[in-house]
Chain A
Amino acid sequence: MDSRVTVAAPELTQASRREAIIFILKKAVISALVALLLFSLMIGIRTEAGPTGQLIYWTRFDDLATIVAVVFVGSIVIELLRQWWGPAPIATAIPPSVQRALGIAGKALPPVLLIFALLVPIVFYDQRYVIDTGIQVLTYVMLGWGLNVVVGLAGLLDLGYVAFYAVGSYSYALLATNFGLSFWVCLPLAGILAACWGVMLGFPVLRLRGDYLAIVTLAFGEIIRLVLVNWQSLTGGPNGVSGIPRPSFFGIPFTRDDDGFAARLGIDFSPTHRIVFLFYVILALALLTNWVTIRLRSLPIGRAWEALREDEVASRALGINITTTKLTAFAIGAMFGGFAGAFFATRQGFISPESFTFQESALVLAIVVLGGMGSQLGVALAALTLIGGFELFRGFDQYRMLVFGMAMVLLMIWRPRGLVGHRAPTVFLKQNTAISSELAREGRG
C-alpha cells in the first residue's frame, strides 16, 4: 500500500499573506511578553548570599532583554517552520523500495556497530579520553538493555532502576573491601543480590498500574539512596566506599611490577592496558545482556512479558501467571543492573551515593524510550546519542540537565515511539515483517 499523505500547499493570496504575518507577529509578541513576565524576576534579578551572610542582589537586565528577544525571534521562526512544513506528518506508509533499503541498512547496522566497538580501543589506543567515553557509553547501553526488559518488554514503568545499579555497586565494593573477593566472584553475587531486590520491589507493586507504579518505584529508588547516605557504619555514608580493588587480568594485576600484566607479556607498562581491559569487559557484559534478552524474547517467558505489556487481562485469561511474569521481569532487569553496578564500582575504584540519584534513573529511562521500547538496536543507538551528547557538554556542565530536560519534552512531542519505530516479531512462518510501533501497546504495568 503506497499511500503518502500530502497536503496541497494553499494558494496564498495577498490578504491571507498579510493575515498570516499578523498572526505570526501576534503570537511572537505574546510569547515575548510571557517570557518577559516569567523571566523578569528569575533572570532580571540575581540574588546571592552576600559576604556578611545576608541576601544581596544585582540586576541583569541586559540578559533579560536578550532572552526575551530570543523568544520573540524563536517564536517567529517556529511559526514559519510550522507553516512551511505543513501539519505534522501522520503515519505515512513507506514505499517498498525505501523500506527495502532501510531494511538492509537496519540489518547491517548491528554487526557494523559491533565491529566498530571491538576496534575502538585499538584505533584510539592513544586517546584515553575516547576509550573512557566508550566505556561510559557501553555501561549505559547495558543499563538501557537491562531496563528494556522491564519497561520495553514487560511494560512495567520503573523509575527507580538506579536502585539496582546501586545495589550491584555497593555489593561488589563492600564484598571486595571487606572480604577481599575478586571481581569475577563478586560479579554473579552482585547480580543475584540485585535480582533479589528486584523481586522485593516487584512483590508490593504487583497490583499497581501506570503512574502509580512509576512513582512507587521512584520512591523505592530514593529510599535506597537515602539509606546509603545515612547508614554510615555499613556504607560509609556520603563519603562512600573507596579503595575498591581494580580489576586484574584473571589474577594478573595491571601494575608496573614484575608479576604485572605488562611484564608478563614482555611489553612496556602503560596505564592504558587496564582501561582497554575494562573496555572489553563491559563490552562482553553488554553483549551477554543482549544475547540473553534476545534469547528470552523468543522463549515463552519473553512472549509472556510482551503479552503482559499488550494486554494484561487477556494474558490472564490465557492462563499466564501474571505474578511470576512480572517478578521475573523485575528480577532479570535488576540482575543486569547489578552487573553494570559491579562493573562501575571496579572501574571507578570509589563510589558514593551521589552517583545513584533519580537523574540516573531518568536518564536510563530516556535511553529506553528514545530507543523505541523493546528494540535492542534502538536502545544502543539512543545510549550512544545521549551519552555522546552529554560528553559534548563537558564544558557546559551547568546546562546539561536543562538541555536534557528540554530534549525529553521535545522528544515526547515529536517522536514518542522512539528512534526505532517498529517491533520485530519473535517467530514467523514466512516473512519477518516489522510491526509498526503505532500498533504495539506501551503497557500499563
Chain B
Amino acid sequence: MSSDFILRVDGLTMRFGGVVAVNGLSFAADRRKITALIGPNGAGKTTVFNCITGFYKPTSGQLRLTHDDGRTIQLERLNDFRISKQAKVARTFQNIRLFPGMTALENLMVAQHNALMLASGLTFLGLIGAPSYRAAERQAIDQAKRWLDRIGLLERADDAAGNLAYGDQRRLEIARAMCTEPALLCLDEPAAGLNSRESAGLSELLLSIRDEGTSILLIEHDMSVVMEISDHIVVMDYGVKIAEGAPQAVRDDPKVVAAYLGADEEEAAAVMESNP
C-alpha cells in the first residue's frame, strides 16, 4: 500500500518562534490522484506547502517522496531549486508569480531551463550555435506551444504575461509548472478569483493533467472544485489534521462543518441532522 503513495507526510511540525503553525501533521497523497488540502484560513495549509516545496525548513517531521521507479527522496532535506530539479515537485503560488515582463512563451521556456541548460552544454554549445542545441530548443518551443494550445493561449503566446487577463494568468502559471515535467504538482488556491465558467475549465484541465499521470496536491477554498475533482481530501484546522477521506465522507463530517462554521461539533451535528 505504501508504494501507492507519491508523497508521505509524517509528523510534520513547523514552528516560527513561539507560534506553532503546523503540529504533527501526517497524511499521504496517492500516486496519480488528486489530493486536496482544505481548512479555514490560518489553518496552516500554505505553511505545509512551503515545507513540501522547500521554502521553509520543517522544524521536525518527514516528507517522503516516492518516484515511479521506486526512488525515494526526503524532501525535508532538500531545499531551494533542488525540489523542482531533482525531486520533480512543481508548484504555483497563491498570488500569481508569473514573469510579467516576459511573454507567455518566454515564461514557458524558462520552465524548461534545466533541460535546455544541459542541451546547451552549459551554454557553450548554444553560444556556437551547435545543431544539437538548436534541436533541443525547437523541442522546447514545441512543448511550450502544446501547453499554450491546451490552455487556449496559443494566440497570445507573444503577449506579455503581465498583460493577460487574470484567469489566463492562472492557467499560464499551471502550464508553466507543468513544463518542468513534474511528478507532483502542488497548486496553491488555483481557483481563487475565478468565476464559475473559469473554475469549470480549471477542473477539466486538472483532471486531464491527473489522467496523464501527474499527481496533484492542491489547496483550495472553492468547494465546488474540491468536491468535483478530488480523489482524497485532508482537512486542517489550527495546524492539525481534523479529518481525512473521500470527498463525500469529509463533507458530512461534523468536525469539518464545525471548523468552517466556527461552531461546536455537537451543534454542527445537530444542524446537519435536521438538514439532511
Q: Do A and B touch each other in the complex, judged by CB within 8 A?
A: yes
A contact residues vs B (CB 8 Å cutoff): 292, 295-296, 299-301, 303-304, 306-307, 310-311, 313-322, 423, 425-433, 435-437, 439-441
| Residue B157 CB within 8 A of the other chain | yes
**A317 with B117, Cβ < 8 A, contacts A425-B102, A435-B102, A441-B100 known:** no
A118-B106 Cα distance, complex, nearest whole Å: 35
Can you pick out 12 interface pairs between chain A and chain B where the beta carbons lie within 8 Å of each other?
A299-B116, A300-B113, A314-B93, A315-B110, A316-B84, A318-B176, A320-B81, A321-B80, A427-B105, A428-B103, A429-B145, A439-B162
Asked whether A441 lies within 8 Å of B113 as measured between CB atoms, the reply is: no
What are the interface flags for B60-91 relative to A under an 8 Å C-beta threshold, 1 for contact and 0 otherwise? 00000000000000000000111111000011
Q: Quick check: A430 and B158 within 8 Å, CB to CB?
A: yes
Q: Are B84 and A317 in contact (CB under 8 A)?
A: yes
With the chains together, A430 CA to B155 CA distance in Å?
Answer: 9
Q: How far is the CB of B252 from chain A (nearest CB, A)?
A: 36
**Given A317-B90, A321-B85, A440-B102, 7 new contacts (CB under 8 A):** A296-B127, A300-B120, A310-B100, A311-B99, A317-B53, A320-B110, A428-B157
Contact mask for chain B residues 244-273; partner A; CB cutoff 8 A; 1 contact, 0 none: 000000000000000000000000000000
| Contact status B84-A426, CB under 8 Å | no
Give A423 to B53 CA distance when docked, in angstroms. 32
Q: Known: A310-B100, A318-B180. Is A436-B106 also a contact (CB below 8 A)?
A: no
Partner of B157, one of A292, A306, A429, A439: A429
Task: Answer whether residue B159 sits at the interface, using C-beta atoms and an 8 A cutoff.
Answer: yes
Taking CB atoms, residues of chain B closer than 8 Å to A292 are: 127
A407 to B240, CA, bound (A): 58
Q: Determine the distance from Cα of A269 to Cα of B199 in the docked complex, in whole angstroms.
A: 80
Residue B141 is within 8 A (CB to CB) of chain A in the complex: yes
Cβ contact of A306, chosen from B83, B93, B102, cutoff 8 A: B102
Chain A residues contacting B93 (CB-CB under 8 Å) are: 313-314, 317
Residues of the A chain whose Cβ atoms lie less than 8 Å from the Cβ of B110: 303-304, 307, 315, 318, 320
What are the residues of chain B within 8 A of A310 when measuring CB–CB?
Answer: 99-102
Across-interface contacts of B41 in A (CB, < 8 A): none
Residues of B95-138 contacting chain A, CB below 8 A: 97-103, 105-106, 109-111, 113-114, 116-117, 120, 123, 126-127
Docked pose: A320 CA to B102 CA in angstroms: 16
Which B residues are in CB contact (< 8 Å) with A314?
Answer: 93, 97-99
Nearest-CB residue, chain B, relative to A442: B101
Which A-B residue pairs are the 8 nearest by beta carbons?
A440-B101, A319-B84, A310-B99, A319-B85, A314-B97, A439-B162, A300-B116, A435-B160
- Say whether B196 faces chain A, with CB atoms less than 8 Å apart: no
User: Are A320 and B127 interface neighbours, CB within 8 A?
Assistant: no
Chain B interface residues toward A at CB < 8 A = 53-55, 80-85, 90-91, 93, 97-103, 105-106, 109-111, 113-114, 116-117, 120, 123, 126-127, 141, 145, 154, 157-160, 162-163, 176-177, 180
The reply to whether A321 and B103 contact each other, CB–CB distance below 8 Å, is no
Complex alpha-carbon distance, A304 and B160, angstroms: 17
Whether A316 contacts B81 in the complex (CB less than 8 A), given A300-B117, A430-B157, comes out as yes
Q: Contacts of A437 on B, CB cut-off 8 Å?
A: 101
In the complex with contacts A304-B113, A319-B114, A439-B160, A425-B103 CB distance below 8 A: yes
Q: Give CA–CA (A304, B99) in the complex, Å.
A: 11
Please tell me if the beta carbons of B80 and A322 are within 8 angstroms of each other in the complex.
Answer: yes
Q: Which residues of B contact A319 (CB under 8 A)?
A: 81-85, 113-114, 180
CA distance A243 to B83 in the complex (A): 55
The residues of B that contact A423 with a CB separation of less than 8 Å are 101
Residues of A within 8 A of B106 (CB): 303, 425-427
* Cα distance, A303 to B114, chains bound together (Å): 11
Whether A301 contacts B105 in the complex (CB less than 8 A), given A317-B53, A425-B158, comes out as no
Question: A313 near B97 (CB under 8 angstroms)?
Answer: yes
Question: With A316-B81, A318-B176, A441-B100 in contact, do A303 and B160 touch (Cβ < 8 Å)?
Answer: no
A440 and chain B: residue at smallest CB distance: B101
Q: How far is the CB of B115 from chain A (nearest CB, A)?
A: 9
A306 touches B99 (CB 8 A): yes
- Write out the residue numbers on chain A whose beta carbons fall within 8 Å of the beta carbon of B126: 295, 299-300
A151 to chain B, nearest CB (A): 15
Specify which chain A residues have a CB less than 8 angstroms from the CB of B160 in the assembled complex: 433, 435-436, 439
Contact at B98–A433, with CB atoms within 8 Å?
no
In the complex, the answer to whether A435 meets B103 with C-beta atoms within 8 Å is: yes
- Closest partner residue, chain B, to A432 (CB atom): B158
| Given known A-B contacts A428-B103, A428-B105, A322 and B158 have beta carbons under 8 A apart | no
User: Given A303-B110, A303-B113, A318-B111, are A429 and B102 also a contact pair (CB < 8 Å)?
Assistant: no
In contact, B98 and A296 (Cβ under 8 angstroms)? no
What separation, in Å, do the CA atoms of A28 and B102 have in the docked complex? 46
Most chain B beta-carbon contacts within 10 A, residue among A313, A423, A427: A427
CB-based contact A311/B97 at 8 Å: yes
Q: Smallest CB–CB gap between A303 and chain B, Å?
A: 5
CA distance A125 to B63 in the complex (A): 72
Q: Are A433 and B159 in contact, CB atoms less than 8 angstroms apart?
A: yes
CA of A303 to CA of B176 in the docked complex: distance in angstroms? 14
Residue pair B101, A321 in contact (C-beta under 8 Å): no
Is the beta-carbon distance between A322 and B97 smaller than 8 angstroms?
no
Contact of B109 among A295, A303, A316, A441 (CB under 8 A): A303
Contacting pair A299 B123 (CB below 8 A): yes
Residues of B within 8 A of A306 (CB): 99, 101-102
Q: Which residues of A contact B117 (CB under 8 A)?
A: 300-301
Q: Which residues does chain B contribute within 8 Å of A435, judged by CB atoms?
A: 101-103, 160
Say how far B244's CB is from chain A's closest CB, in angstroms.
27
Assembled-state Cα–Cα distance A338/B274 (Å): 80
A295–B177 Cα distance when bound, in Å, is 26
Q: Is the CB of B84 within 8 A of A439?
A: no
A319 to B118, CA, bound (A): 13
